[in-house]
Structure 1
Amino acid sequence: MTDIPIVEAFDLCRRDAERGQVLLQPASFSLHDGDRVAVTGPSGSGKSVLLRALALLDPLDAGRIEWHGKPVSRITMTHYRRNIAYIRQRPAVLEGTVEDNLRYPYTLHAYRDVRFDRERARSFAERAGRGDDFLDKSASELSGGEAQITALIRVLQLAPEVLLLDEPTASLDPESSHAIEALVKTWLDSADARRASVWVSHDPAQAARVSDRHLTMRAGVLDEVTRPAAPPGPQDNQREDTR
């Protein structure tokens, strides 16, 4: 892990322009190579607002973001968004096949320097428990879990540095949820690049599985949770009983 974070946020603040309500109280946050962060909190607490602010998808009312120690500018914005990828809860799926959906980003100007690799995409699908025929499946036939897997592969194949996952398994069945978790874990465990994730979840058990850092949000306030000490093992209990 390097000393310079991949992403560092300084006093980010967001307000509802119409109502004047503060959606995100000034929040500072750093994300280093290898970090796996979970964010939990009640609905409406600002979790999605935080992720979208980190992705620079919405304008900030205050604060700034640095990427590899340098402020994100208009010149570097496109490259930043290419590397700091936001995955929403219900992704849009285009008409055609799964492969058509995976090929779509390569038609955009921002990705003119890379080409679609079917074998790599097939490998991602396999890690999510999908067979060789998955890429040929019609998008109209996809279940909610398969649509989310498609959207995730569409991002992962572009080799981002950070995944900002906004409740990607909400409303999915357990099998699909675990497939998404497995795919993200495999991607994070790859040692060939700097990678980190921020995962918003309502499920405490999932948050524990996918993270080594835990943040909470309430009323737009971001806090970091200190993980509790591990419970005493059988030998510790035995020592206590003999005292």
Structure 2
Amino acid sequence: MVNIIRPRVELVLTWGSEELIAAMTDVVYRAYAIEDAMRRVREKPELVVRRITSFLRDGHHSVLEFMGASWLIEGSRAFTHEVIRHRVASYWQESQRYVDYTKGQLRYVLPPALASQWSNYLDSASQTYVRAREGFAPEDARYLLPNAMASRIWAQMNAREFFLNFIPLRTGLGAFHEIRLIAWLMFDTLVDKFPITARWVWENLPRLHPDYCRGVEKLSPTYGTSDCRVISIKDAFEKWGMEVPKKLSEFIK
């Protein structure tokens, strides 16, 4: 039986914080001690909101490189070929050269519409790989695996790359639906970690990439809205038969 799974995203860790960046403004420019600056922003949370919003609005984005996150992602090889194009990031990916998939790890990532009609093909591909392994090493037998083959990848990005490049590019309506789904799942994991940045980016998404709303006219009647962000989320999650996560759903109410 073919093992078909859905894309998965798990937050591994985050570093830095909006609070720390706001505090370091006093440290770098006003010679405060770090402890005193941190105490100040904790006593005045509105100061954090004002400073982070100002950095985002005025284009002082380099400070966002002092915070970021890493995720364990499982998606198709079609997805991983796209995500690694984002070079201001770090990746550690499952190797088809060294993993022996005859030991029960053959799994595929496929949208439900395709899975319902083509699972027999994937079963055949699995059997072909297993037979090939009788005479060939994993590094040679991997040539026979399809793009639907699941692959785990550990990805790490700073907040500037993630929020201001990756998210505007990969959640736009012209993006491949699997990477769009995964980008939203990644975004969902950071809503509570970097709330000021996440909210500002959400509110400004359509203007952060010139092609963000590509084809919105065709999709608007289907989803009853012309909001490209809402369409992007609903379309991606519907294609994969998945529910919109709770935190992300709050943005589209």
Q: Do they fold alike, i.e. is TM over 0.5? A: no
**Could you say which structure has the higher strand fraction?**
1
Question: Which of structures 1 and 2 has the larger relative contact order (alpha carbons within 8 angstroms, sep 6+)?
Answer: 1
User: Higher Cα Rg: structure 1 or 2?
Assistant: 2
**Could you say which structure has the higher helix fraction?**
2
Report the TM-score when normalising by structure 2.
0.29
Report the TM-score when normalising by structure 1.
0.29
